Every structure is written in C-alpha cells, then in structure tokens.
Amino acid sequence: MFSELLPDLDELFTKLLKRDVSILLPKEQRLISPSMSKDDIRKLIGYASILALDEGHSAKTKAYEICTRLVEVTNGKNDSVITASDFILSRLGNFPGRKLLRDRYSVKESTLSIPASLWLERSTREIENTIFNNNNEKRQLLTDFQYGLFLELGKKQTVSVSAPTSAGKSFTLGLDLLRRITGKGEVQSVVYIVPTRALLREVSGRFRESLKKEELGDIPIRTVPFPIDKEKAPNGIIYVLTQERLMSLLFATQGEPWITTLFIDEAHGIQDQSRGIVLESAIDLTLLKFPAVELHFASPLISNPEIFPAIFHRPNSKSILEEFSPVSQNIILVSKVSGKKKAG
C-alpha cells in the first residue's frame, strides 16, 4: 500500500481529525486543537492524491477523508484545497461527492486551474464512468462501484451485491431497471421487491420520477398484485411489491402474471424467520413459473453475497462485495461529568 511509504501520514491525519472535529463542537466544548499550517495542508493534499491511486478501500477512504476534511477546516475558502479536492474526488471516481462539493461552494469547472495532464486524467475518468440512454444521450455520472455494478447487471442472469448503505446500490438497480424498460427487444415486466409496505410509495415514486424524465409516463407502475396482460402493457410494466404481494401476484386468479426480471432489495432479510420464509418461497415459485427470469440481489455490507446465487442454483452469476463507502461521518462519544449538569 502507498500509505506505508508516507511516514508522517498518520500524524498529519490525526491532526486534521482533531481540527475538524473541534470545529463541529459548541464553542464552550471545543478542544484545544492543533492548527494546520500551509505545509501540513500541502503535504496532506499530496498524500491524498497518492492514496487515491491505491486499490485498497482503506487507502481510498483515507484519501476521501483528507480532501473533504481539508475543505471543512479551511471553510471552503482556500482555492487550492477546493481545486485539489475536486481533482482527488474525480480520481477516486466519486462524482456524486464532487458534485456536492461544487454545488455547496458554487464551484464552476471553468474556474478550476489544473495542469493539462491532470485535466486529461479527470476527463478520462468522467468518460469511463458515464452511462448513456438508448438515444446515446448522457444520463448519469457514476462512482466506480456503481458503474461496475451497472455493467454486470447488463451481462449476468444473476448479480448479488453487498455494499454499504451509502454506496448507491439501490440507486444503481433503479438505473438498470430503467435501462430494461426503455431498451429495445423483449417487452419487460420487472418486479422490484422491498422489505416493508412503508417503502412501497417511496420506491415507486422514485421510479415514476425517473420515467417522467425519460418521457415514459405511460408505463404503468403498480404496488398492488394485480396482473396486467402483455397486450395492455405494450411498453412494459413495473411492479414494486413486498414479498407477500409477490406471492399474491403469482397466485392471482384474474389475469396471467408474467415476469422477466426480479430485483430483491435488502436481500439479507431472507435470514429473518418471518420475512425469510415468505421471501424464499416467493423466489422459488417465481423461478419455477418463469425459468428464464433474471434475478438480482442487493444487501447491506454482508461478507458472503455469493450465498444467494448458491441458494437458488443460479449458474450465470456474479457476486460483488464493496467495502469502500463514498461518504464519511463523525461519531462523537459524550460522557457525563459528575456534579456538573451542563458539562460533558
């Protein structure tokens, strides 16, 4: 790892953490934090740039932490820090984070002055991580993880992905769903399984907004298990259901259900005694009735995403385990001071 070649990295990073966390605390509770000199900032920017090239998720996480925290401790007023952070986020493939940086500090790409070689690298990374719609128009700029997942979803009959909640796996499944509905070829009937009824409106609403942007508001989105015949859905249909409602759809007495793709969000719930039995039964029955169905799983950070293709005997499958999170957080532990109610 590159971090082993940077002898004072840990010392400088600890100083940066103390400075950043201190700023977050109320004035009366602030720690006496070390100041960051221009030389400290310059070194940390260089280290973050190097760490962003490392393949290890811990190095990438530290690179992200350095550049975002440097922006905070300089109040977004240091142009050199802003420019360097913008480039490092591009090198990391964290384009959503870069967009947030630009929006928050009103940064325009035309005002960022970087050498031609780095500009070329940044532009190349953007091209590599951009997906297009069926009219070859730019649709979305993705993180490395999201782009890799999006590609695999287009190639494999089954993909099982495990990643932190903040990695955007559900977002990527939504993009793939949209690709299927808007693509040429077989008319699609896509079923997207959510764990609880409370999520039905949220997820279906998100899909409606996506279809609206693509001017495809005529494609039905259903949250109830009532089948629609192919003739009445010539452009495809999307179901957003719970596992119980999927069972009801499969056993519908009026109309004949048809399913081409099945997405299982929060797939780890299959281990729960209550949800798991129904979910596993619903998937088994779907595979029995529609052997050619594509089946994809998404879970929060579990260590063995390959378990789902194995359970359901899916040969043409891909398992993805992502550990790098594109966001950071501060967890501050507060203890009471005996005899002082307002101190802690």
178 with 69, same domain? no
pLDDT score for 138 = 63
Helix (H, G, I), strand (E, B) or coil at 140: strand
CA–CA dist 185, 50 (Å, integer): 45
Q: Give domain status of residue 177, yes or no.
A: yes
Q: Which of 69, 99, 128 is the last residue of a domain?
A: 128
* Pairing label, strands 294-299, 237-241: unpaired
Question: In a structure prediction context, what are the per-residue pLDDT tens digits for the chain, which is 344 residues long?
Answer: 555 667 789 999 999 988 888 877 766 556 666 788 999 999 999 999 999 999 888 899 999 999 999 999 998 899 999 999 999 999 999 998 999 999 999 988 888 889 999 999 999 999 999 988 666 666 789 999 999 999 999 999 999 999 988 888 989 999 999 889 887 778 999 999 999 999 999 999 999 998 888 887 789 999 999 999 888 888 899 999 999 999 999 999 888 899 999 999 989 888 887 778 999 999 999 999 999 999 999 998 888 999 999 999 998 899 999 987 766 666 666 677 777 666 55
Q: Give domain status of residue 313, yes or no.
A: yes
CA–CA dist 146, 140 (Å, integer): 10
151 with 231, same domain? yes
The closest of 317, 321, 312, 306 to 291, measured between CA atoms, is: 312
What's the longest Cα–Cα distance across the chain? 75
Query: Are 335 and 301 in contact, with CB atoms under 8 Å apart?
Result: no
Q: Give domain status of residue 342, yes or no.
A: no
Q: Which of 128, 158, 173 is the last residue of a domain?
A: 128
Q: Give domain status of residue 327, yes or no.
A: no
CA–CA dist 140, 155 (Å, integer): 19
Q: Which two tokens stand for residue 225?
A: 């298990």
pLDDT score for 35 = 80
91 with 198, same domain? no
C-alpha distances (whole Å) from 191 to each of 105, 230, 257 are 40, 15, 11
Query: Are 297 and 225 in contact, with CB atoms under 8 Å apart?
Result: no
pLDDT score for 223 = 95
Helix, strand, coil percentages, rounded to 5, for the chain: 50, 10, 35
pLDDT score for 6 = 76
CA–CA dist 181, 238 (Å, integer): 8
52 with 159, same domain? no
CB under 8 Å to 102, separation ≥6 — which residues? 86, 108, 109
Q: Give domain status of residue 50, yes or no.
A: yes
pLDDT score for 111 = 82
CA–CA dist 216, 158 (Å, integer): 27
CATH number of the structural domain spanning residue 203: 3.40.50.300
Q: Which two tokens stand for residue 325?
A: 């999170």
149 with 118, same domain? no
65 with 168, same domain? no
Q: In total, how many domains does the chain have?
A: 2
CA–CA dist 274, 148 (Å, integer): 33
User: How many degrees, rounded to 5, is the angle at CA 50 between CA 60 and CA 110?
Assistant: 90
pLDDT score for 211 = 87
What residues are paired with 191 via a beta bridge? 239, 262
DSSP alpha helices (H): ranges in the chain? 9-24, 38-51, 57-73, 79-91, 95-104, 116-128, 144-153, 169-182, 200-213, 243-250, 273-289, 307-311
Residue appearing with tokens 């879970």: 299
pLDDT score for 48 = 95
pLDDT score for 127 = 92
- Report pTM: 0.85
209 with 122, same domain? no
The closest of 2, 112, 117, 97 to 48, measured between CA atoms, is: 2
Q: Give domain status of residue 338, yes or no.
A: no
Query: Are 303 and 321 in contact, with CB atoms under 8 Å apart?
Result: yes
Q: Which of 128, 163, 195 is the last residue of a domain?
A: 128
241 with 270, same domain? yes
76 with 157, same domain? no
CB under 8 Å to 111, separation ≥6 — which residues? none
Q: Give domain status of residue 336, yes or no.
A: no
pLDDT score for 27 = 67
**What domain range includes position 310?**
144-321
* Torsion of the alpha carbons at 276, 201, 181 and 132, rounded to the nearest 10: -110
Q: Give domain status of residue 214, yes or no.
A: yes
106 with 175, same domain? no
159 with 70, same domain? no
110 with 52, same domain? yes
